[in-house]
Structures are given as C-alpha cells and as structure tokens.
Structure 1
Amino acid sequence: MIPREATPVSVIRPKPVRSRSSKIGSGRLEDLQSISKELNILIESERWRQESGAGSFDRNMIKALAKKVISTVQQPEEQWVEQAALMSEVCVIRVFNDWKAFDMIPQEGSISIKAWAEKLNAQEELIVRMSRILVATGTLQQVKDDGIMHTPLSKIYTNRHPAGLYFNTKFDIALVPGVGWVEYFEKFGRRVPEGITHTPFSIANNEPDKSSFEIIGMDQQRVADFAQSMNIAMKSKAVTGFYNFDWIAEKGRKDKDRTLLVDVGGGSGGAVEAITKAHSGIDRARCIVQDLNEVVESAHETMSMEMRQVHMMAHSFWEQQPVKGAICYFLRRIMHDYPDSKCTEILGHLVNAMAPDSRLLISDELLTRPPTLLGAQTDLSMLNIGGKERTKEDWLVLASKSGLRVSGIFTSKENSMCVIECTKA
C-alpha cells in the first residue's frame, strides 16, 4: 500500500479582537502626556548633567516613571499574569543558581538547549520548559529555535556575583517562609513572631527551636554565600555623609583617657574604617570593634595596616558591655534583625555601660510613610526571622523602653539609612 502524501497543516491564527477594556480613556491619555513631559524634563536634565559634569543621575526617577506608565495603561485584572510569571521566574532562577546553570552559558555567544542540558546532567525537556519563562521575561535570550544566550540581566547570576547571591538570600529568607504563611499564622496566631525562634524562617527550615543565624550557621556554604551577599547590601548603605562624627574627636581631645568609639557587632571593622577616613581627627588607636570570636580572628587576617591600630575585641552583645564610659557606642544594622524584646536587651547592656555624657548611635534603616518598595519588602523579610524595620515612631518607642532618649534622627539623602542619636534618659 502506497502511503498518501502528507497534507500540510496550516495553523490558523485568530485575528486580535480589540475589547472595550483595552481602550485608553481621555483621562488616562492626559496622564500619559503628563508622564511624557516629566520624562522629557529628566532627559534634558541628564543631557545637561553629562555636558556640565554636574554629578550622577538618579535612575530611580526614570524607573518610577516607567511604573507610572504601566499602572496607567494596565487593567487591574491583568496583574495576575505578571504576578504569576514572577513567581515562576524566581523559582527557576533559584534552582538554576543552585545548579550553577548560568555559569554554563558562554559569556559571549550561545549554547544549544541540548548541550546545556548535558552539562547540567538534566533532562532536556526539563531545561526547555524551565528556560522558557526566563526567555519570556527577558532574563535570557533565545537564539533561533534551540539556542540560549546571556543578557545583562542573567550575567549577575554567574561567577558568584554578589547580586546573584543576594537574590538567593532574599529567596530563602522571604519567599520560602512566605509560602508557608497560611499554615504558620493558623498555628501561631495572626500576630508577628515574638522572638527569634519559632519564626516563619525556622519553621520553613524544620528547625523551630533555632534562630535564623543558628540555622544559616549549620551550613558552611550557606554561611559563605550569606556573608558575600550581605556585602552588596552593606556597600550600598553609606556609613558616613549624613551624620557628623567630628564631635567624638573634639570630646576625645578633652578626655584623653576614654575610649572614643565602640562598634558593637562591627564585623571586620568596615564601619570604623569608613568613619575614621571621613573624620581623620578620630584616633583609630582609641577605637574598639567588637564581634564574636571567630569573626575577630578572621578580621585579623584581612585587616589593612591602618586598621591594625584598632583594637579588635571578642564580645557578644547578649552579654554585659565590658567597655565602660566610652564617648560613643555604635550599632550598625543590628537592631532590624531582632524584635523589640531582644533589642531592649541589647540596648540595656549598653545603657548600663554608658557614662552620663556618652552617646549611643544606632545606624539602621528608617521605614517611611508611605514605604518604599524595598523598605516594605525588607520589613517582611525581617518578619520571617523575627526582626523588624522601624519607622521614626517605632525608634522613639524602642529607645524609651530601653532607657534612652533620642536627641536626633539624621537621614541619608541617598538611601533609607539613618543615624538615631541617643543619650541616657
């Protein structure tokens, strides 16, 4: 029997139907015209900056306008498409990061899906289906029918880039516990965690009796990834430039026998290094950086010659402060990791050590009203580990409960950081 010739099958594509909801009303057109004018002003401003060398341009303003355009033309019921895509995208990125899949794509040029799957020791169909969402969102670029290549967005997930590691940290702290919120709040009640154990993060990691830092510390690779990812967060949050530390040097010239600055939980001394560089009158030899013993030992190996003048001291802020009567005590990005009950404990040890004229500086995030996108998201990440981002009112209440009086709150123009200056109440 002679087989018949295969009949070509044509794919019939329906003509797009314009629904009434897709039309833009006159009011929205006016909004778009207004946004367009704002954009033109920003473009002209940037052109002037480039020609005159008048400083850097704030890209966040352009991003804000782009969001305005989307919110103006997007129908509310269309949001779920982008939200669902984002859910799938971040899950794929997290898995690919774990597999080091992005590292296996050439930095220049492309790779076939088949070859990529072989490098990953994975089923080709799985890689095809998982990579589709990254192509659809623009994270990866498809080449012909079976090739994949990098975009600038995907390259941050290669070679242990701090931004890629920071993504992993955010995923593990924010998304993984968040998926279990329904069950968590059903079991523990509709309230924020009251301590640093039995948090959404500890429950999600099947270690209810441990704190987030204890859980992370159980895996050395996780510790290394967490530390490197935190570098990007710390570097983006300037220590100086919005608070004048010169008073420490001035007071130190009168009280020559007192410690000038104690950085509690100060890691390897990066904050003290930044402060003393910007305020050269502060003698490093009269500064102390305190942290856990293993952190101090590691810091000794990496410190610059200039920073070796600083005294590194093994100390836990859960214990009474051994340095009494220092001119200034300093806490940087410590408080937001803990609930008020734990913060009052930490601050109480410092209040007990302070002289009547000592000052305590808390360098941390300031949550605004209304909040920024990053501020709101970070606060929910902190909720998962038992911590909290705080508004001005929150800081005032916390200080009062700890036996402190806030003498000033100094905010950065560049980001959400602030310095809360406190004295003994």
Structure 2
Amino acid sequence: MVLHPPAVASGFLDQTEPDGGEYKHTKFSLAYILDKPAPGHLFLAMYDEWFKHMHNFDDYLVSKGKYEEPQDPLYNPYTAYWKQEGTPVWSIMMQNPERFQTFQTGMAGIDVAIPVTGHFDFSTLKNDSPDTDNATIELVDIGGGEGTVLNKILEAHPGLSPKNCMLQERPEVIQLAKSKKTLPDGVQLVEHDFMTEQPVKGAKAYFMRMILHDYADAVGIQILNRLAEAMKPYSRVLICEMVLAPRVGEADFASAVLDQAVMTMGGKERTEAGFQKMFDAAGLELVKTWRAPGVPGGCVEARLKGQT
C-alpha cells in the first residue's frame, strides 16, 4: 500500500511493534478486503458506479447550462462520464461484467440500512387455496437482480410457494440468476422491462427494492402506472427503500449519502410524502410505511385508490 504512515496515523492500519515493525490490518482496513463478504464490496460499488461520476459535478452542471438535479435516466452524470449519453445506465454497467458483478455483490451490503425482511409480513401473501398450477402469483420481485433478495424472503417465510413467486429482470441478469442458481427450484425467472406492460395480472404483491430511487418522479410514476394497470383490488405494491425524514438530521446520514449516490443516474431518495405524491399520480394510495427497528429503510405499501 502506498502512503503507509498516513494510514497508520489515521488508525486505518497498525504496526506490529511499538517502534515500528511490519504493517498490519485493523478492523477498519479489514472492512475493505474483497475476498470475503465485507463492506468493501459495497464501498467499491459505490465509488465505481456512483461517486466517481460526481467528482466534476460542477463542471457537468456548467456544461448543461442549468443548475438543477439530473432527472433523465439517459442523460445524467453517469452517462456523461462514459460518453454514452442516450444509453441506459444499466446497459453501460453491463458492458463490464466483472464490474457489474461487483455492483451486485456490493448491494448486499446495504441490507443493514434497508433490510430485506423484518418490516412487512410477507407471509400474509400466501394463497389460501391449495397449491395448484392456476394459483395466484404471491410475489413478483421486479428488478430483483440475480435473486438474492427474493431468496432471503423465501427463507424467512417458508409458507410462500416458490412456484408462485417470480423474479423479473433484464435478459442478461436472468441468465446470471440461472447460472448462479440463487433461487430454489420452482421460482419463475422472467425477462421483463418494467417500463413496459406488466405481464403478470392480479399478483398478490408487486415488490421493488431499491428501484424507484434510481429514477426521478416522472419516470417513477411511469413505472408505477404499469403496475397499477395490472393490479386487482387485493393487489399491493411494496417499495423497499430509504424513507427520508421530513427534516434530515445527523441520524439520517446514510440516507443522505445514498441520495447523493443515486443522483448520479438521475435518481433520488424520498420522504413518505414523496412516495405518496407519486402513488397519487399513478392511481394508488399509500397504506402504510412498515419499519424495522433502528434502520432508515422501510417498506412502503400502496394499493389501488379506494381499496384500502
């Protein structure tokens, strides 16, 4: 490592002897190791896919001639950095499969702030009728990556039937999910673009974790519109993301950092009122924000208007 003395002086590294010796890890440096599950994967993903593209944010704003939040998923600091404006962020990311895999692994590190379970009771989605081929889909995980999140939900709620659950993702990610076999047998793996018509009608719940925060309100409303069109009176939309406090304080630092991170691709974190504004525009209404103790993330539940 370059700059060993500053690393020791800051407490990031230590030395083996009182008068010097070899350099050794501390609990802080160990967090950056990539050969085992650790926050290092998250730090690397956040730098490579978010903060790197914001280094010259002031120059970006000057070049655009307007000083406002990026709001276009095709024209933002991320796409400008890679000189591929007009191309979706995820298409750019997939051009480097190794970096994309690092991003997928790193996102698991956000579970501490935005837990997968411990808020909404997914067991309430279980079908009352016998498990048949014509049973209602219990849970659709939209944009759920390689299936890590859906797998955690199924492990925590064994009453849900894998064959009545579905993972929807981009074609290349579905292939990744199939090759890694993250999910139990029976779970339906479906290629789908959530900006288009939702093919599954009348599911018990449409679940999105850390999806809407990648987009500005106008695009988020389009995504929710596709879900509202497919919903039945009993259907729910479940949005698992950071839920900002109306007034952000020191305790909301993690939420504020993630808000700045997703701004690089034209996204934002939202307050409960911010979610309600989007729901209202899509013909939905907020039912409840489910919380796990001591974390900034939550699960925001919505239903069709007039069905609560």
TM-score of the aligned structures, taking structure 1 as reference length: 0.64
Deviation at 1:191, TM superposition (A): 0.6
Contact 1:193 1:386 in 2 (8 A): yes
Unaligned runs of 5+ in 2: none
Does residue 284 (structure 1) correspond to residue 162 (structure 2)? The answer is yes
Is 1:409 equivalent to 2:289 in the alignment?
Answer: yes
Q: Secondary structure at the residue paired with 2:125?
A: helix
2:57 is the counterpart of 1:181: yes
Matched, 1:299 2:177: yes
Structure 2 residue identity aligned to 1:267: G
1:224-272 deviation line (CA, Å, top 9, x unaligned): 2212212222466322222123332255569973222211112333333
Among 112, 116, 132, which residue is 2:5 paired with? 132
Measure, in 2, the Cα distance between the counterparts of 1:318 and 1:243. 25
Alignment of 1:317-328 (within 5 A): 317-328=194-205
Kept after mapping to 2: 8 A contact 1:180/1:204: no
SS of the residue corresponding to residue 317 of structure 1 reads coil
Q: Cα 1:133–1:206, aligned 2, differ >3 Å: closer, same or farther?
A: farther
- Residue 423 of structure 1 is matched in structure 2 by 303
Q: Please name the residue that 2:147 is paired with.
A: 269
Deviates most, 386-395 or 257-266 = 257-266
The amino acid that maps onto 1:131 is H
1:257–1:152 distance in 2 versus 1, CA, 3 Å:
closer
Deviations 1:312-348 (A, max 9, x none): 2121212211111122211122111111122112111
Larger CA deviation: 375-384 vs 410-419? 410-419
1:65-80 paired onto structure 2 within 5 Å: none
Residues 1:260 and 2:135 aligned together: no
Q: Deviations over 1:60-115 (max 9, x none)?
A: xxxxxxxxxxxxxxxxxxxxxxxxxxxxxxxxxxxxxxxxx4xxxxxxxxxxxxxx
Identity in percent: 27
Deviates more, 1:397-406 or 1:143-152: 143-152
Give the whole-Å Cα distance in 2 for the aligned partners of 1:417 and 1:351: 24
Structure showing the higher helix proportion among its residues: 1
Q: Indicate how the Cα distance of structure 1 residues 244 and 218 shifts in structure 2: closer, same or farther if over 3 A, else same.
A: same
Letter in 1 for 2:9: A
Equivalent residue runs for 1:161-176 within 5 Å: 161=36, 162-176=38-52
Q: Where does residue 67 of structure 2 map in the other structure?
A: 190
1:284-321 CA distances to partner (integer Å, 9 max, x unpaired)? 222222112222223233336x8112222121212211
Match of 2:233 in 1: 356
Give the SS at the match of 2:270. coil
Q: Tell me which protein shows more strand as a share of its residues.
A: 2
Provide TM-score, normalisation by structure 2: 0.86
Q: Which amino acid in 2 is paired with 1:412? A: A
What CA distance in whole angstroms lies between the structure 1 residues aligned with 2:76 and 2:95? 17
2:127 touches 2:138 (CA, 8 Å); kept in 1? no
**Unaligned ranges ≥5, structure 1:** 1-100, 102-126
Q: Residue 139 of structure 1: CA displacement?
A: 1.1
Q: Work out the CA distance in 1 between the residues paired with 2:113 and 2:179.
A: 24
Aligned to 1:32: none
Partner of 2:179, secondary structure, is helix
- Taking a change above 3 Å as real, the CA distance of residues 334 and 140 of structure 1, as seen in their structure-2 partners, is same
Aligned to 1:229: 106
Aligned twin of 2:14: 141
Q: Is the 8 A contact 1:268 1:296 kept in 2?
A: yes
What is the CA-CA distance between 1:395 and the residue it aligns to? 0.6
Partner of 2:27: 152
Within 5 Å, which residues of 2 pair with 1:74-93?
Answer: none
Distance 1:254 1:157, change over 3 A: closer
Equivalent pairs counted in the alignment come to 297
Matched, 1:367 2:218: no
Alpha carbons 1:263, 1:330 under 8 Å: kept: yes
Letter of the 1:177 partner, please give it: H
SS state at 2:240 partner: strand
CA contact (8 A) 2:41 2:109 kept: no
Letter in 1 for 2:41: L
1:62 maps to what in 2?
none
Q: Distance in 2 between matches of 1:178 and 1:297?
A: 31
Q: Aligned AA for 1:321?
A: Q
Deviates more, 1:235-244 or 1:383-392: 235-244
Larger radius of gyration: 1
Q: What is the match of residue 109 of structure 1?
A: none
